[in-house]
Structure 1
Amino acid sequence: MTTAVASTEVPQDLDAARPAREGRRPPPRATRPVGGAGASILLWAYAALALVPLLLMVTNSFRTNGDLISDPLGLPSPPTTASYVEAWTTGNFATYFGNSLVVTVGAVALSTTVATMAAYALARGRSRIFRWLESLFLSGLMLPIHLAILPIFYLFDGLGLIDSRLGLTLMYASSGIPFSIFVLTTFFRQLPEELEEAASLDGASSWQTFWRIMVPMVRPAVATVAVFRFVPIWNDFLFPLVLLRREDKYTLPVGLTNFFGENATNYSAVFAGLVITTIPLIVLFLVATKQIVAGLTAGMAK
């Protein structure tokens, strides 16, 4: 009888100890950057090299024209803002800057708003017509907008929108809708439909569900789309050159070209104009970097 009890107690002790042994896991290894230290050094070196022209542009804008001619790579001693005053007033950069700001912000806001509403409808639509409409919108990605400059010119001429900032804003807004819909539709499809069902049970209308629940959840994607549309519109030269006639309607790229032609030997003022043109883009990326990274990496981690 004693032997039988002993034979049953030993396996029980072993079974009780087995989960403790099996539950032990080796400590996680520290994650290393892809490519190791060599890749990190190369990336930092490339970043530093890419910043050199930007630093030269900024430092030379605070120097006099005589100093630039005598010592092109020197430092400002002492720094002066006379070139900025000349570019902003005499060079009419205040008007150019205002025109670019109105056209770019208006086009991005209109394009992003329309694309967000359309992307939500296309992502949640079950009918075959929604699939057809999505394909129609995405087909706009296959045609570069600059190839349609001649039809756009004749269309604007017939509508009386030549030399109009409103016409330029509408053109930029419509050209950015296919890309914005392409990005935002993917993000809306990743959101669970249970969120809308819960909001409906709480008494929220479809409009309230869209603006108060769905749009905040795709905010990184909206910010990414807005930034990716802001940069090419702000830097575009061709359409303002073709569609605008008067100098007081010029945007910064066209105005900068005009200013450079009149001040080809005033290097300090030209550098100041370049800095004025670049500042909004730098500020935009510094402010929206977190949202851009979140928008580009959303859905990559499981």
Structure 2
Amino acid sequence: MAARSHPGRTFAAHAILIAYTLIALFPVWVIVINSVKSRRAIFGAPLAVPTPETWDLVGYTTVLENGDFFGYFQNSLIVTVASIFFVLLFGAMAAFALSEYRFRGNTLTGLYLALGIMIPIRLGTVAILQGMVAAGLVNTLTALILVYTAQGLPLAVFILSEFMRNVSDDLKNAGRMDGLSEYAIFFRLVLPLVRPAMATVAVFTMIPIWNDLWFPLILAPSEATKTITLGSQVFIGQFVTNWNAVLAALSLAIVPVLILYLIFSRQLIRGITAGAVK
């Protein structure tokens, strides 16, 4: 007998997600409201809503006039979109192979990929930098895309393989009987059924890439390849920090993350709650 979702559990799961969302958005709210306030108001009442007396757009003016903000934004967008594409493509392929086919080393391969979740990629920064120097990829966006793709693959394979194991074998076997190739089964039958998991992986992959400062600082610190997070550091000095400009830059950098969340919110919630409300 098929298990049915319980209305009470469904409501509780959605309530928990909403609560976590509000908690996560509170720092964003603080950054945004302070980005349109004067410096005195930022330090005097950081949690207060801007008033006509405290309203000040000097931070946004500084960001747009000093530095190549739109160039930084474009670099972050290129790196993030390309990295997510490759993570989803290669991660889904690897997850399909691990969940669908039984071969010698299947378990060991899965464990090897799972180690990437537990071991931070930053531990290999020196080796990564040496490899990029040898390949002539320092101060290129390609270096960042390669690193972020490698960083996101273990989690993508781990999540997607669990979802792909739940895809009906009868459906895939029916496709094979109809003459579909393994590639057609993968792209036409399996991927549409794991869209919630794909959206979940996309969101959780994008956030650390977009907000990362470490690898842009190490691998691509030149003016032409700076990301938005690294570009915002130009307003942070050793002795003086332009907090209006920093908060304005961070507020503008938040926009793509919010847009992606709004686009994939339904699929994201379905992916997170799958299996928890049965």
* Structure 1 equivalent of residue 32 of structure 2: 58
* Structure 2 equivalent of residue 3 of structure 1: none
Give the partner amino acid of 1:156: M
**Which of the pair has more CA radius of gyration?**
1
* Structure 1 equivalent of residue 50 of structure 2: 75
1:259 aligns with one of 221, 225, 235: 235
Q: Does 1:103 align with 2:82?
A: no
Give the Å deviation of 1:262. Answer: 8.9
Give the Å deviation of 1:289. Answer: 1.8
2:223 aligns with one of 223, 247, 251: 247
Give the partner amino acid of 1:244: A
Mapped partners of 1:214, 1:30: distance in 2: 28
Q: Deviations over 1:119-158 (max 9, x none)?
A: 1111111222333322332232232111111111111111
Give the Å deviation of 1:260. Answer: 2.6
Taking every aligned residue pair, what percent have the same amino acid on both sides? 34
Mapped partners of 1:126, 1:263: distance in 2: 60
Say if 1:225 and 1:215 are closer, same or farther in 2 by CA, change over 3 A: same
Give the Å deviation of 1:254. Answer: 1.3
Alignment check: 8 A CA contact 1:62 1:76 kept: no
Three-state SS of the structure 1 residue aligned to 2:105 is helix
TM-score when scaled to structure 1?
0.78
Mapped partners of 1:74, 1:222: distance in 2: 37
Say if 1:271 and 1:162 are closer, same or farther in 2 by CA, change over 3 A: same
Mapped partners of 1:123, 1:267: distance in 2: 49
* Structure 2 equivalent of residue 174 of structure 1: 150
Size of the alignment, in residue pairs? 268
Say if 1:76 and 1:181 are closer, same or farther in 2 by CA, change over 3 A: same
49-58 or 159-168, which deviates more: 49-58
Name structure 2 gaps, 5 residues minimum: 1-5
Alignment check: 8 A CA contact 1:96 1:251 kept: yes
Give the Å deviation of 1:83. Answer: 3.3
2:108 aligns with one of 125, 132, 157: 132
Which structure has the higher relative contact order (CA within 8 Å, separation 6+)? 2
2:196 aligns with one of 214, 220, 227: 220
Mapped partners of 1:48, 1:224: distance in 2: 18
* Structure 1 equivalent of residue 170 of structure 2: 194
Alignment check: 8 A CA contact 1:59 1:76 kept: no
Say if 1:262 and 1:184 are closer, same or farther in 2 by CA, change over 3 A: same
> What is the RMSD of the two structures over their aligned residues, measured on CA atoms?
3.0
Alignment check: 8 A CA contact 2:35 2:245 kept: yes
Name structure 1 gaps, 5 residues minimum: 1-28, 35-39
Alignment check: 8 A CA contact 1:57 1:275 kept: yes
Alignment check: 8 A CA contact 1:163 1:246 kept: yes
Mapped partners of 1:30, 1:132: distance in 2: 40
